[in-house]
Structure 1
Amino acid sequence: MGVDTDLVGPGTQVHDLGGAGLLPGFIDAHVHPVAGGLAALRCDLSELAHDRRGYLDAIAEYVRTHPDEPVISGSGWYGDAFPGGLPTKDDLDSVVGDRPVVLSSHDGHGVWSNSEALRRAGISAATPDPDGGRIERDERGEPTGVLFERAFDAVNALIPADGPDRLRDALLLAQQRLLSVGVTGWQDAGVGIPAFGLTDTLDTYLAADAAGELVAHVCGALWWTAEEGIGQLGTILDRRDSARGPRLHIDTVKVMQDGICENCTAAMLEPYCNIPADAHSEGLSFIDPVELADVCALLARNDFHIHMHAVGDRAVRECLDALSSAVTACGDFAAHHQIAHLDVVDPLDMPRFRELGVTANIQALWARRDIEIVERKLPLLGPEREGRHFPFGSLLRAGAQLAMGSDWPVTDPNPLWALHTAVHRTGSRADPHAIGPDARTVPLLADEAISLRSAVDAYTAGAARVTHRAARAGTIEVGKDADLIVLDGDITTADDIGELAVQTTMVGGAVVYERP
């Protein structure tokens, strides 16, 4: 092993990696760690096979072993495990009828509840769909037990609030999981997000940071509550001012503009195809576009970076229009605005990412032919939009800068699985959620694949840029922090990138994880 003696001092530790791969630490540009940790502490279905009977057996066992929990809460189910693509309250009623059951879907945009939860929440056939949400109903108009977006607020309110100690345990459990897959920093994409049964987590981060328990570098994005409008700015400014610590900084606001395609709440330029009778034909814009532009301009004038959720092509356009207002308003502020998810992007809007300096924050693990996508999502998009599904390659060719994140607990936080899918547009053999006859073998739009170098850059340097750590992390250079990972093989020659594993994770030169 050759060593540059100019860089070696009396305290330098020299390691011979024996041919293993060395990379900068991954930075997850869009993740919900406290929710991921809480999922592991609740009724967690995320590690199970996609099987109706398996889900019900696991729920029954959790109910049996947690007799004192007044509300059974949990997450992680996939719709493809059920006939028709969605579960029902009848399934849950067969397992537990005397306590409410409230289970978030793996994507966090739907909740599966039993009859007792619906009863206590006051949801019946006579209950109208709320703004920004939908109650799934049967042919008689009765709620089936599945609630989408803001329709699940009432059942989530039944879940007792988690205390500070439990939230801290969840954060630290999540941190260890992220370190084990090579993530040395992240952006929490919604501190205060009203999903996954979460309460506000800012105090959780502050307490962990003050106690020296926060190992990774964290950039937090404060949640913008659509219903409160610009009147919430003062609170957000106060929260930013309170959130400074050795490992934590909060200088970003998360704005959610639409839902997801699978439940027809993603905002589309043209109507969905083959939609249920009670679905919104073109999806939902959660904030009026004129107001959205005002919100973004206001945030930019107050030196906030803006992190936006946009799945449908109309939502993407509305967000780009709003960020155009922000760019005009921000003056000398060096903003790193970003739009996350980008399931469908109109070709006319792709060059605007480069023109406006807006980063495309992608969740690459989703870009494959899973059953849930093939059977539930693509029929809703139709053939023309199917050809623009997760257009990562097109965005890159149009000059967009990329950052990558997992959206965990929506999907697994392992960056190596996501890198494999970004490069091959198929699922890794290591990923148990790559379900379907074509998921691991037939690319989902092969022309939208990106190179390994581009994918790694998105999960390191690109993510460092949007978490405002580019001066200290994201690349291996003299003068930067030694946030490094060691892989058990060569990522450039691996047949299946997802089958590689992280051997060692270092933050600031200190080893914080070693594979057993």
Structure 2
Amino acid sequence: MPPACTVFRGGTVLTGDLSQPVATAVAVHGGRVVGLDSEALDLVGKDTLVVELAGRCLVPGFRDGHIHPLWGGTETLAAPIVDAVDVEDLLGRLRRYAAARPGLPWIVGYGYPPEILPAGVGDARVLDAAVPDRPVALWSSDHHMAWASSLALAAAGIDVHTPDPPRGTIVRRGDGTPTGTLLEAAIELLEPHVPPSGATVKAEGLAVALQRMAAAGIVWVQEAALGPEDVRVYLDLAAAGRLTADVNIALRVDPARWAAQREEFLAAREAATTAAAARAADGVPGGRVTVASVKFFADGVIEGGTGALLEPYVDDPCSCGIPNWSAAELAEAVAAFDADGFQAHVHAIGDAAVRMTLDAVEHTARLNGQRDRRPVVAHTHLVHPDDVPRFAELGAIANFEPLWAQRNEVMTALTEPRLGPERSRWQYPIGDVWRTGATVSFGSDWPVSSMVPMEGIAVAVTRQTRDGAPEDGWLPHQRLGLDDALAAYTRGTAYQAFDDRAGCIRCGAPADLCLLGEDIAHLPGPQLAAVAVEGTWLAGTEVHRT
């Protein structure tokens, strides 16, 4: 065997390979792992790049099973309202942003924390006072709510006479006038009037997202919801050799026109396949782009009262939320796209949405026959105990965003009051699902929450907030051990991607690697969130280094 291109040595290597969980050295050649331990050291030649781990930790590169790089990156270029600590902080940010951009026709921002508003509801008049001369449109951190100023509502023609659209709610005052908060499909009344982001802005935003992903140690992502028109942004960046991660795109399914979308989605998949072949023939470096999945939104979110529940909300006994599909329609659509060879990726938050999704998976297998389809239930927030074993039984992947599995302000102010004590204990059953033998994958849903995997892993291991509350962890029986949490962010997501060679460090595997600044093998769980990523390699090529 020729000398290795790169050898990592002198630290702890957590391989993720059950047959050899720990190593001390790794050799890489031709984009793949070619040796471990003494075999790796024997492959050091005169031209080999030697990376001294110096007591640090090498792990498989992280793979995010649910993220929105194009949306998230583009949104970083809008008004900076993410992480506003209260309403006054948010309004101050809007005033400064608007004052610096007097020619901007709309003030748009993404990511306000809904928990800073009373019951999550924003009033248009509050925004009017901050920016009186232009429409203002803000999206919540979960993107299932929008907060609009009076000028924005007027531009969209939303007033006391506007009916609630199917699958959406215009939140109203007692006299029927809109407050300024729009839920779910009601946001679509506003969106056509907001100036769109052009291709140049999207490309700039995606570049921002790729840089952040590489800095977080991420080497593969499930781009969780795009239209066919946005696939080109990825393909252009890939053609230029600028992708620093592999990407699988899920195309968003519209409940109102899904049958017509089938041909559009097949064309988008073929375009990505053709582009990949051309890149390979030309030897263009960088990450790969596939279009192998379709995204369904089964429901909304519990904190907004739009997650679909089996029983009514405690604070609204007349409502079980807003399902975006009937059970029969979802089953029919999932089976149709499955017949076209697409992987189903379904946003399912409430227990009714999770059950409906699992029912659709079961229907699809019965109708289309057995095959390796690996359907994904995304978020898996609230699961009725009767449905926990069904993931393993049906071969469904339970995708969790582990950072959400903590009792933070969103949980105490918005979610628990709407669910009540018993159902609150059914949230994020990561440990229960793991113990059934089902595949668990982790993701971030960025820009909804931080994309940094080590922050999510810390919560998965502790079920605590950053300040260590509660002391014994929230629903501590749902915690995972460190090895299992790492596996969910690497091997589990590799399985989701149909890439069974990836997600671990073993001979023959892609050299997708992440260098952590500390040896995490024996680090206390609460300290994991602060561990820095000091290097990232995609197929042996360095894409980030501090």
Structures share a fold, TM > 0.5? Answer: yes
Between the aligned partners of 1:404 and 1:185, the Cα distance in structure 2 is: 12
Structure 1, residues 32-91: CA drift from partner, whole Å, max 9, x if none?
Answer: 001111121001211x44211111000101101111211111111112223444321111
Aligned twin of 2:29: none
Aligned twin of 2:64: 28
For structure 1, which segment, 439-448 or 367-376, has the greater mean C-alpha deviation from structure 2 after superposition? 439-448
Superposition pairs of residues 407-486 of structure 1, within 5 angstroms: 407-428=445-466, 439=469, 441=471, 443-471=473-501, 473-486=502-515
Is 1:338 matched with 2:384?
no
**Of 156, 162, 166, which residue of structure 1 is paired with 2:201?**
166
**Of 16, 39, 42, which residue of structure 1 is paired with 2:78?**
42
Helix, strand or coil: the match of 1:375? helix
Q: Which is higher, the Rg of structure 1 or of structure 2?
A: 2
Judged with a 3 Å threshold, the aligned counterparts in structure 2 of structure 1 residues 9 and 440 are, in CA distance, closer, same or farther, namely: farther
Between the aligned partners of 1:119 and 1:371, the Cα distance in structure 2 is: 33
Aligned twin of 2:14: none
Structure 1, residues 389-447: CA drift from partner, whole Å, max 9, x if none?
Answer: 11111111222210000000000101111001111111235xxxxxxxx7565622111
Aligned twin of 1:266: 307
Structure 1, residues 297-329: CA drift from partner, whole Å, max 9, x if none?
Answer: 112222111111100111111111111122234
For structure 1, which segment, 489-498 or 176-185, has the greater mean C-alpha deviation from structure 2 after superposition? 489-498
**Of 149, 156, 162, which residue of structure 2 is paired with 1:121?**
156
Extract unaligned runs of 5+ from structure 2: 1-9, 11-36, 280-287
Extract unaligned runs of 5+ from structure 1: 193-198, 430-437
Structure 1, residues 350-376: CA drift from partner, whole Å, max 9, x if none?
Answer: 111111110000001011111121111
Helix, strand or coil: the match of 1:269? coil
Between the aligned partners of 1:295 and 1:353, the Cα distance in structure 2 is: 20
Judged with a 3 Å threshold, the aligned counterparts in structure 2 of structure 1 residues 212 and 233 are, in CA distance, closer, same or farther, namely: same
1:18 is displaced (CA, Å) by: 0.7
Aligned twin of 1:433: none
Aligned twin of 2:536: 505
Judged with a 3 Å threshold, the aligned counterparts in structure 2 of structure 1 residues 87 and 15 are, in CA distance, closer, same or farther, namely: same
Helix, strand or coil: the match of 1:296? helix
Helix, strand or coil: the match of 2:176? coil
1:265 is displaced (CA, Å) by: 1.1
Between the aligned partners of 2:306 and 2:490, the Cα distance in structure 1 is: 31
Is 1:369 matched with 2:407?
yes
Q: Percent identity?
A: 36
Aligned twin of 2:271: 242
Name the TM-score, length of structure 1 as normaliser. 0.93
Q: Residue type of the partner of 1:285?
A: P
Judged with a 3 Å threshold, the aligned counterparts in structure 2 of structure 1 residues 439 and 56 are, in CA distance, closer, same or farther, namely: farther
Q: Residue type of the partner of 1:343?
A: H
Aligned twin of 2:221: 186
Structure 1, residues 129-177: CA drift from partner, whole Å, max 9, x if none?
Answer: 1111111122222211111111111222222222111111111110000
Superposition pairs of residues 258-297 of structure 1, within 5 angstroms: 258-275=299-316, 281-297=319-335
Is the contact made by 1:102 and 1:156 (CA closer than 8 Å) also made in structure 2?
no
Aligned twin of 1:230: 259
1:205 is displaced (CA, Å) by: 0.6
1:330 is displaced (CA, Å) by: 4.1
Q: Residue type of the partner of 1:317?
A: R
Aligned twin of 1:252: 293
Q: Residue type of the partner of 1:228?
A: R
Name the TM-score, length of structure 2 as normaliser. 0.88
Between the aligned partners of 2:63 and 2:53, the Cα distance in structure 1 is: 22
Q: Residue type of the partner of 1:324?
A: E
Off by >6 Å, runs of 4+ in structure 1: none
Is the contact made by 2:298 and 2:357 (CA closer than 8 Å) also made in structure 1?
yes
Between the aligned partners of 1:229 and 1:174, the Cα distance in structure 2 is: 29
Corresponding residue pairs, total: 496
Is the contact made by 1:369 and 1:442 (CA closer than 8 Å) also made in structure 2?
no
Q: Residue type of the partner of 2:519?
A: D
1:124 is displaced (CA, Å) by: 1.1
Between the aligned partners of 2:422 and 2:265, the Cα distance in structure 1 is: 41
Between the aligned partners of 1:200 and 1:73, the Cα distance in structure 2 is: 22
Is the contact made by 2:84 and 2:113 (CA closer than 8 Å) also made in structure 1?
no
Is the contact made by 2:120 and 2:304 (CA closer than 8 Å) also made in structure 1?
no
Is 1:216 matched with 2:245?
yes
Between the aligned partners of 2:368 and 2:212, the Cα distance in structure 1 is: 37
